Amino acid sequence: MRWPSRSVNRLVIAIGLTLGLSAQFIPLNALAAVGFQNAYIRLDRMKINTATGGTVCAQPASVATEGKVLVTFPSTYTVNATATNWTVNTSPIPAGSTIWPGITTATSATSPANVVTFGSGDLTVGILYCFNFAATSTLTTAVGAASSQQASVGTQTAASVAIDTTLVALANISDDQIVVSAVVPPSFSFTLGGNTDSFTTNLDPTSTVSTTGKTVTILTNAKGGWIAWAKDSQQGLRSATAAYTIPVAGTVNGVPSTLSNGVEGYVLDTDLTTDAVGGCTLVIDPEYNGIGTASGGTLSAAFQPIAACTGGTANSDVITLIERAAISGATPAATDYTDTITVVGAGNF
C-alpha cells in the first residue's frame, strides 16, 4: 500500500481547515441547546428548610416544538420523588406573563438529581410563559442559608431533544417573613357637642321653651357597651340676681314629666339621635325619654342614668340633650337664669 501523494495530503488538509473555519460561523443553536431569552424560578418561601411551591417562567429563544419542561433544583434542596405530588396551576402568574400552554403535572421527579419534568405544549419564541407548582410534598429548601445555589430551567421536545436551557440561581435565608403586630387598646371616646346650651327664645308663660340641644357622641370598643349619667347643680334654672329658681318638674320615677304652659317647670329630655349599626343596642332611660316638645326627665342632685347601650361595642352612638322650661306669669324677670348639668359617660363594667 502506498501513501497518498503530497497533493492529496494538501487537499485533505485544505478541506479540514475549511471545515474548521466554517464551523465557527454556523449558528450555535443548530448544534446544541441555547439559553432562554429570560428564565427564572421564584419560590414562595426563601426560608431555610421550608416546604415551598413556586413559579417557573421562561421566554423561549429557539424555534422548536416543546414537549417537556425540566426544572433542576439545587443539590442542597430536597425534591420529593413522587411525581404526582408536583401538580401545577396557572393562576396567579406574574403580570405581563402568559399561561404556560399544555403544562401538566410532573411526569417524573428524581432525587438526588433533583430534576422535575413537566409536560409542556408548544411555545412561541419571545413570549414569557409561567406556571406554578404546588407546595405540598414537593420541594423543601436547603437546610443552610446560602446564596447563588444553581438551578436550571430547560425545555425539550417530546423526543427529549434539548431546546433551551438556562441556569438560574436560588438563595435561602434564615427567615423570610416579618411578623406584624399591633395593639388596639380598649378605649372609650366621649364627645360633648358644647358646654353651653341656650334656650331658643326668652322663657314665656304661654309656651314651653327648649334649648337648641347638645349632642353626646360615644365610640367604644368595650364589649359591654356604655352608660351615661347626668346630675344637676341646683335642680332648676337659677337666677342669682332674682334669687329665684325655676324648679325641676316631677320626680325621678321612671316616667318623663310633661310641662304645662303657665306652670313653672324644668326638665331634661334625652333624644336618641343615632344608634349606630352593628354594635350595642342604645336605650334612653325611660325617665329622660321625653315625648314631644314639652316633656323630659327630672334632674336630680345625684347622678341618674340617662342612656345605656348594651350588648356590644359602639361606633358613634349619638344622644341629644335638650332642656325644656315653662314659667308662670309670676316668675321673676331676670336675664341670668342658668343651670349646670354634669354629664358623665363610661364603658360598661
Partner 1 sequence: MTEVYRSRSKQVVQVFMLSALVVGGFLMPAAAGAAASKPLNLVTSPLPISLSVPPGTTVTTDLRVKQAGPDTERLKVTLMKFSAFGDEGKPRLLDRALGDDYFDWVKFDKPEFDASSNVWQSVKMTISVPKSAAFGYYYAVVFSRTGDDKAPTGEAQPTAAYNGGSAVLVLLDAKVPNAKRELGLVSFTTQHRIYEFLPSAFDVKFKNTGNVHAVPHGNIFILSGKKQLASLDINDAQGNILPGSNRLFPLEWQDGFPHFEKVTEDGKVKLDKKNQAVMHMVWSNGGAGAGEVSPHLRFGYYTAHLFAVYDDGTRDVPMEATVGFWVIPWRFLLGVLLVIVLIGAGVYAATRGAVRGVRKIGKRR
Find the binding residues for partner 1 in span 232-291 (CB under 8 A). Answer: 233, 237-238, 271-272, 274-277, 281-282, 284-285, 289, 291
Q: Which is nearer to partner 1, 92 or 186 (CB)?
A: 186
**110 near partner 1, rule: CB under 8 A:** no
> What is d(CA 332, CA 207) in angstroms, rounded to the nearest whole number?
16
Q: In the block, which residue shows the cell 427564572? A: 40
H-helix or E-strand spanning residue 325 = strand 314-326
H-helix or E-strand spanning residue 111 = none
* Interacting positions 148-187 with partner 1 (CB under 8 A): 185-187
Q: Which is nearer to partner 1, 108 or 187 (CB)?
A: 187
Q: Which is nearer to partner 1, 60 or 296 (CB)?
A: 296
Query: Judged by CB under 8 A, which of 94, 173, 223, 333 binds partner 1?
Result: 223
Query: Judged by CB under 8 A, which of 32, 198, 329, 330 binds partner 1?
Result: 198
Q: Which is nearer to partner 1, 7 or 196 (CB)?
A: 196
**326 near partner 1, rule: CB under 8 A:** no
Query: Please, which residues bridge with residue 113 across strands?
Result: none
Distances (CA, A) of 268 to 3, 7, 167, 191, 323: 131, 128, 82, 18, 5
Q: Which is nearer to partner 1, 40 or 226 (CB)?
A: 226
Determine the interface stretch with partner 1 among 82-90, 103-111, 132-140, 331-339 (rule: CB under 8 A): 331-339
**17 near partner 1, rule: CB under 8 A:** no
Grid coordinates representing 215?
349632642
Q: Which is nearer to partner 1, 54 or 279 (CB)?
A: 279
Query: Please, which residues bridge with residue 110 across strands?
Result: 115
CB 98 within 8 A of CB 73: no
**Three-class secondary structure of residue 200 per DSSP:** coil
Distances (CA, A) of 100 to 69, 123, 133, 163: 10, 8, 12, 16
205's torsion region: left (phi>0), alpha (psi -120 to 50) or beta?
Answer: alpha
Size of the site for partner 1 (CB under 8 A): 72
**107 near partner 1, rule: CB under 8 A:** no
